[in-house]
């Protein structure tokens, strides 16, 4: 009777061993499939992490370059106002008082220094006068007929185009040329 329990235990382990012995090729194939699935998951996870690192790096660099955009826009406005102030001074002439000449020279020096400081910090001013109109950089405030310039040329800049590290900060307010309208029939141009 003591032999019977041993046989029962042997009988229970025997089917497991037989199953392992009967299908080793199937078991190996299943393990290889599982290994390949895990390898694919790992490669996808690695690719996702590499993409996340690259995207995060780009976002951090953009944040560093353009975080001061609102402040830079205000500073560009101050530079425009300084230029308008200099332009409003009377034109140079021999009869002007020495104090006016010194004031003009002082303001022009301040403007040069201010613009240089802005450029060192990635804020650049571009004069659009004479360039082709670009809706990405200019805002057309008016059109003017011109026989000397091709249509779409910036004739006059009311304000400069300002860029922050190559990105538009403030568009230039410009007057754009358009082709001259031919006189229609029955319209007297001399009148």
Strand segments, DSSP code E, in the chain are: 123-126, 138-145, 154-157, 161-164, 167-170, 172-178
How many angstroms separate the CA atoms of 132 and 140, rounded? 12
Q: What is the DSSP letter of 1?
A: -
Q: Is residue 16 very low, low, confident or very high in pLDDT (cuts 50, 70, 90)?
A: low
153 - beta bridge partners? 132
How many angstroms separate the CA atoms of 40 and 32, rounded? 12
Pick the range with the lowest mean pLDDT from 34-43, 69-78, 182-191. Answer: 182-191
Each domain of the chain, given as residue ranges in start order, spans 25-67, 68-178
Residue where the block lists tokens 């021999």: 94
Q: What is the pLDDT of residue 93?
A: 81
Pick the range with the lowest mean pLDDT from 100-104, 126-130, 180-184. Answer: 180-184
**DSSP-based three-state secondary structure for 20:** helix
Q: Which residues of 46-59 are buried (b: 16+ CB within 10 A; e: fewer)?
A: eeeeeeeeeeeeee
Q: Is residue 96 very low, low, confident or very high in pLDDT (cuts 50, 70, 90)?
A: confident
- Which option is the CATH number for 68-178: 1.10.10.10, 2.30.22.10, 3.40.630.30, 2.60.40.2300? 2.30.22.10
Q: Is residue 191 very low, low, confident or very high in pLDDT (cuts 50, 70, 90)?
A: very low
8 Å CB contact between 154 and 175:
yes
How many angstroms separate the CA atoms of 131 and 156, rounded? 10
Q: Is residue 91 very low, low, confident or very high in pLDDT (cuts 50, 70, 90)?
A: confident
For range 16-24, the mean pLDDT = 65
More confident residue, 95 or 122: 122
For residue 45, pLDDT over 60 is answered with: yes
């Amino acid at each position: 009777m003591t032999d019977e329990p041993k046989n029962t235990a042997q009988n229970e382990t025997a089917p497991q061993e037989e199953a392992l012995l009967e299908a080793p090729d199937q078991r190996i194939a299943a393990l290889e499939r599982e290994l390949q699935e895990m390898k694919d998951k790992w490669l996808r996870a690695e690719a996702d992490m590499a993409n996340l690192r690259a995207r995060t790096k780009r976002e951090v660099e953009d944040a560093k370059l353009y975080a001061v955009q609102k402040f830079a826009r205000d500073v560009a406005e101050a530079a425009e106002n300084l230029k308008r102030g200099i332009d409003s001074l009377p034109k140079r002439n021999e009869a002007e008082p020495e104090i006016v000449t010194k004031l003009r020279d002082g303001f022009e020096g301040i403007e040069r220094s201010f613009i240089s400081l802005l450029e060192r910090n990635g804020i650049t001013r571009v004069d659009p006068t004479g360039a082709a109109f670009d809706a990405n950089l200019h805002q057309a405030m008016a059109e003017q007929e011109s026989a000397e310039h091709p249509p779409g040329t910036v004739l006059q800049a009311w304000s400069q185009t300002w860029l922050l590290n190559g990105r538009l900060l403030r568009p230039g307010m410009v007057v754009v040329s358009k082709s001259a309208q031919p006189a229609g029939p029955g319209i007297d141009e001399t009148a």
